[in-house]
A and B are shown apart, each in its own frame.
Chain A
Amino acid sequence: MGNRVAICAMAQVKNEPNVWYQRFQGMLLDCLEPILQQTGVTYDTDKGIRNIVTCSDDVFDARTISDNGMTDVVGAHFRGEEKTAQDGLNGLGYAMACILSGHDDVVLFMGHCKESQTESRNMSTNLAYDPFFCRPVGMDFLNVNAFQARAYMEKAGVTDEHLAEVVVRSRENAAMNPFARESGKVTKEDVLNSPFLADPIRELHAYPVTDWAVGMLLCCEERVKEFTDNPVWITGFGNCMDRYFVGDRDLTSNFSLKKACEKAYGMAGIKDPKSDVDVIELSDAYAHQLPMLAEGIGLAGEGQGGKWIESGGPAKANVNLSGGMLNGNPIMLGGVARAVEGYIQLRGEAGDRQVDGAKRALAHGTTGGACQHQTVLILEK
């Protein structure tokens, strides 16, 4: 048994504001069929796909057991099907574990989320909190992230101007990514003049409502040549959950991200992410999170987020060339979108935004209010 897991194929639909004209099952089928064609993989119970990891959310799908609605589409009858109901990057980590443990040779990963289906994304994330102390006072991921934004901007000298730069760059990068949501370029003035949603978070500081679906085929090292000549290897994975009550946490410490990085860096043999990683993708659902997460992974110094933006840190380290989460990926799949960009870059298929000679990528995902749960995946060529 080899000790590496390969991503052999990936297919996605375009990130869009409102795929009203297609059910999520159709979006998934548009991802599955190209994977079958690219790799020739079958559902043979000896040699083919015997296990499928899916990512979806009951609240956004407005049904119980949201993966039940995917079973037919992903071909999960008479084989394993297991659901990740948090950032899908954890599903990729789980698929990796299925293979490394020797339980499976080949695992299919399929994720979807149509944020547009619900009248209010904030009502949906309110349900992430308990019904006793938090839901009744109206906590949701937007207003909880606003607490984090205020504390972090104070701690790291991050200004409204800095955040405007982050948003402008996100939209410029996304314009070079054919699968990115067409959110449109904006000027610094547009951002600085956009209305507050939850101070200090402005409308343009928040990721827009997005629908998306994606699939990947993973396989053990021994059998990779059956499916691709250009594999991307998963060489590191780590995740960690911070405490539940926001009042118990230091919202700006990146506690769970640092723990996730320790595990992922140790597994992949990364000593210094500044020199050892060529492409970095962070799930910046809100603009202030880009510099904050950069601190968490060790790219920017502790409390130096403001200076890091001023000195062109994001461009220098090839951070979020995809446009990032800030340009628009649905919750649940933010981390997978980051891994997709890593995969495309390492295969040399990123076109105008290609990083020359990219050998290693970091993908980050987060679940919960104010980055409670964090996940890091390392990809290599």
Chain B
Amino acid sequence: MKEGFDTTDCFLVDGKLALPYTYFAGRVGSKFLTTIRDEKKIMGIKCNKCNKVFVPPRQTCDVCMEDIRDNWVDVQNTGKVTNFTVVRYDDKHLPKKAPYVLAMIQLDGADTPLVHVVEGIDLDKAKIGMKVQAVFAKETTNTILDIDHFAPA
């Protein structure tokens, strides 16, 4: 604190911003999320110019600037870990209780990794290259967490 600062009548007021929202996911995002929810299937979108399959999907290839919104392809529910961390702090925005593995997972058939949780392994056994598969949630939350987590394949 600044030396000699007079803290007379310095009072802290508690506040909170907690405002529920509903966001339109876009047509591309909507189809991706509802397909996971209803068919337990993960889809990507392919750019026919550069042949890359994007997960999460998007309607324009940002390299080729092609409109790719209709080029849906199925990718596998399995993939490999390309990077990971062990989240060791608890917080309200986190989907799981610490410690747990958060990983970048390249699904078989996709070119871009997706970030998601990996469970069912010892924390010190997590490594790059390990094979994982999606475990779908028993009850829907209508979010990407309809994939509850990934587990060793």
Q: Using a CB–CB distance below 8 Å, which chain A residues touch chain B?
A: 13-14, 16, 19-22, 62, 120, 122-123, 126, 131-140, 142-143, 146-147, 150-151, 195-201, 243, 245-248, 251
Contact = CB atoms under 8 A, between A and B. Distances in A.
Considering residues A21, A122, A134, which has the most beta carbons from chain B within 10 angstroms of its beta carbon? A21
Contacts of B83: 147, 150-151, 251
A150 B102 CA distance: 13
B115 A139 contact: yes
Interface of B: 1-2, 5, 7, 10, 12, 15, 17, 21, 23, 25-26, 29, 33, 54-56, 62, 83-89, 91-96, 102, 104, 106, 112-117, 141, 143-145
B17 A132 contact: no
Contacts of A246: 104, 113, 115
B17 A62 contact: yes
Given A131-B23, A136-B95, A197 B102 contact: no
Nearest to B56: A133
A17 to B, nearest CB: 10
Contacts of A126: 93
Which 8 pairs across A and B sit closest by C-beta, in order of nearness?
Answer: A146-B85, A247-B113, A138-B94, A126-B93, A247-B112, A21-B10, A133-B56, A199-B86
Contacts, number: 111
A247 B104 contact: yes
A161 B113 CA distance: 30
A131 to B, nearest CB: 5
B7 A21 contact: yes
Query: DSSP majority for the B interface?
Result: loop
Given A137-B115, A196-B88, 8 more contacts: A14-B2, A122-B89, A132-B29, A138-B96, A139-B115, A198-B88, A199-B88, A247-B55
29 contacts: A16-B1, A21-B1, A22-B5, A122-B93, A131-B21, A131-B23, A132-B29, A132-B143, A133-B29, A133-B115, A133-B144, A136-B144, A136-B145, A137-B95, A137-B115, A137-B144, A138-B91, A138-B117, A142-B89, A143-B85, A147-B83, A150-B83, A196-B86, A198-B86, A198-B88, A198-B89, A198-B102, A200-B85, A246-B104
Contacts of A135: 93
B56 A138 contact: no
A138 B114 contact: no
Nearest to A135: B93
Given A136-B145, A138-B93, A247-B104, A62 B115 contact: no
B66 to A, nearest CB: 15
